[in-house]
């Protein structure tokens, strides 16, 4: 069982972006790093570039998703996402954090990743501010297009 008070801090070693509007039809931000215990972790946050069809809506796949290094994937799982300088914090719904086998709160230190923070902010907003409105997380410190 995951406690909401427990968190993991990940030092990002690599942050990447993927955009494909024709073949894979996906937008993705990927993060790879090492946690405080020395465990290598990675996750991706992605969404489709097309509007979800009725089957995707009925199955709950009408939102962004988060996958971990083990391939576990959950849809619409984030409650809040903060970006403050070079610190990215992700707050997951407890039940989804359990599926991903991570704590409900993950902090990512982006300081040594070399990522363009402005670009990261824009890409995360584009991915997370999409799909089913009730599954969208609260975005704090990100460039949200209005």
What residues does each domain of the chain span? 7-140
Residue 78 CB neighbour total at 10 angstroms: 23
Token pair, residue 10, equals 């990940």
* Low-confidence residues of the chain: pLDDT under 50: 1-4, 146
37-62: pLDDT as tens digits: 999 999 999 999 988 888 888 888 89
- Measured between its terminal Cα atoms, the distance across the chain in Å is 38
* Predicted TM-score (pTM) of this structure: 0.89
pLDDT score at 5: 53
What was the pLDDT predicted at 120? 96
Nearest to 118 by CA among 129, 107, 110, 130: 110
Q: What is the pLDDT of residues 120-131, one digit of tens each?
A: 999 999 999 998
Rounded CA gap, 15 and 20, in Å?
Answer: 17
SS3 115: coil
Q: How is residue 95 written in tokens?
A: 């039940």
What is the Cα–Cα distance from 73 to 47, expressed in whole angstroms?
Answer: 12
């Amino acid at each position: 069982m995951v406690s909401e008070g427990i968190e993991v801090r990940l030092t990002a070693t690599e942050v990447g972006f993927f955009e494909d509007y024709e073949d894979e039809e996906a937008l993705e931000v990927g993060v790879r790093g090492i946690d405080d215990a020395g465990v290598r972790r990675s996750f991706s946050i992605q969404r489709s570039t097309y509007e979800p069809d009725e089957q995707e809506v009925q199955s709950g796949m009408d939102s962004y998703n988060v996958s971990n290094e083990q391939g576990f994937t959950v849809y619409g799982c984030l409650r809040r996402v903060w970006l403050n300088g070079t610190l990215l914090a992700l707050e997951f719904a407890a039940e989804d954090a359990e599926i991903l086998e991570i704590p409900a709160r993950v902090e990512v230190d982006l300081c040594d990743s070399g990522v363009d923070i402005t670009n990261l902010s824009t890409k995360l907003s584009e991915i997370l501010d999409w799909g089913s409105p009730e599954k969208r997380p609260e975005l704090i410190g990100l460039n949200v297009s209005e």
